[in-house]
Homo-oligomer: A and B are copies of this chain.
Amino acid sequence: MKKLNIAIIGLGNIGSYLYRYLNDNKNILTEKNNCLPYVKYVSAKNKKRKRNIKINKKQWLNNYLDATKIQDVDLIIELIGGSEGPAKKLVFNALKNGKHVVTANKALIAKYGDQLAKIAEEKRVNLEFEASVCGGVPIIRSLKEGLIANKINKIYGIFNGTSNYILSSMDKKNKDFIEVLSDAKKLGYAESNPSADLNGDDVSSKLKILSSLCFNSFLNNNVYVEGIKDIDKIDINNANKLGYKIKLLGYAELLNNKIYQRVHPTLIKKESYVASIDGVLNAVIIDGKPVGQSTIQGEGAGPAATTSALVSDISSILRGNIKFPFSLSIKERKKLKFENISQRYFSAYLRFEVIDKPGILSNITNIFSKNNVSIKRLVQNPDKNKKSSSIIIITHKSKDFFLNKILKEVSKKKYIKRKPKLIRIDDN
């Protein structure tokens, strides 16, 4: 029986879960893949941490980088995290030394994926990163294999469970962002420092990787990123009245031979599939030819779901299924044009909190018309006690550049009581 020697580097929650899984399931994996996955070495920053797994003394490496040098390591599983430092050093060295690599590190792949893929290709080894995007949702393998026939023109969805949990809880419980975030931390749905989850950076990394796979292009940093921390309960209630939910969505799309990559809170119709995804789930929607629209949904995070993804990558290597990390050889990947979001057309929701005085509404609508943005719907809610008024405007499709220009222009007016809001609408 063939055997693949594995080194797991990083034994946090995910590494420990994977270690236990591989020990408990080595027989079935061997039967399915005709090759035994054998965890020969491990390494972790804190050797003494309580892990509930049995590790033999001989398995511990003195230095994590030894895994890249030792002869009898075939596959290195990188679970350190972070785009720089030890994780970067480990993966670059591993590939250069002809070791297969499986990683859950989206930041690393989103930043150095092209360079790493080039080395993997030269050394004819696998670099697999299913676990870096949407946890247990087998989206990368589906793009590379199950949906390989398709020319994809759009991929979008809910790629971050924490922010989706917060937005759907704000909606259901009619609570403020801060309140819900504190609940989410207590329940373990948000990390103690959740900034990458909430400011859109996590989604942005995943989107870059997916976009590159869908369009056979190189990784590109031209991504518009906006998080959810400015979303108010009021906006969620307004959206509801207008027939929408607010979701943090990532989009990569090919329009007129240009790619747009964007991450932002979005008003999406209540009846749509995406609007129905609540809580910590992830969902990915792919528009392709010939297949039409495909959707994959599942657990996006946590040790169990991540292990499911890691093991699919490990199995692919066990079967000797050598492929290009991004589907195509580096020579065949394309340099496509990535366009700025300011050039794209959107319908938008805008909210202005103003002093309740005559002439203000006409001043605002005048600014819209000056910028050639036409208004589809306008709702004014006066608050007599505060002598203020809330003006909600839904626009027809207009260039993002002008929507933002209006926002800026109105922001400067003296009659504005609070920073105005602009949320884009998905009206496809």
Contact = CB atoms under 8 A, between A and B. Distances in A.
Interface of A: 17, 21, 25, 29, 31-33, 130, 136-138, 141-142, 145-150, 273, 276, 288-299, 303-305, 307-308, 310-312, 315-316, 319, 321, 323-324, 327-329, 332
A28 to B, nearest CB: 8
Contacts of A295: 295-298
A299 B293 contact: yes
Contact of A149 (B25, B148, B288, B321): B25
Contacts of A288: 308
Contact of A145 (B292, B293, B312): B312
B298 A145 contact: no
A142 B149 contact: no
A145 B31 contact: no
Q: Specify the main secondary structure of chain A where it touches its partner.
A: mixed
B298 A148 contact: no
Contact of A308 (B149, B304, B315): B149
Nearest to A311: B149
Nearest to A277: B273
| A-B interface, 9 closest residue pairs, ranked by CB to CB distance from nearest | A138-B146, A149-B311, A290-B304, A291-B308, A294-B298, A136-B291, A295-B297, A141-B146, A292-B299
B149 A294 contact: no
A127 B227 CA distance: 47
Contacts of A146: 130, 138, 141-142, 146, 312
A292 B149 CA distance: 28
A299 B305 contact: no
Contacts of A299: 291-294
Contacts of A312: 145-149
27 contacts: A17-B290, A21-B149, A136-B291, A136-B294, A138-B145, A138-B147, A138-B294, A142-B142, A145-B316, A147-B312, A148-B311, A148-B315, A149-B308, A273-B297, A276-B276, A290-B303, A290-B304, A290-B305, A291-B304, A291-B308, A292-B298, A292-B304, A292-B305, A293-B299, A295-B295, A295-B297, A297-B297
A9 to B, nearest CB: 20
A145 B149 contact: no
Given A146-B142, A147-B138, A315-B148, A308 B290 contact: yes
A296 B293 CA distance: 11
Contacts of A332: 31
A299 B145 CA distance: 17
A34 B79 CA distance: 31
A289 B305 CA distance: 9
Contacts of A298: 291-295
B148 A32 contact: yes
Given A33-B148, A147-B308, 4 more contacts: A31-B329, A145-B312, A288-B308, A294-B297
Contacts of A321: 319, 321
Contact of A290 (B33, B141, B149, B307): B307
A70 to B, nearest CB: 26
Contacts of A291: 136, 298-299, 304-305, 308
A328 to B, nearest CB: 6
A4 to B, nearest CB: 15
A17 B288 CA distance: 16
B141 A145 contact: yes
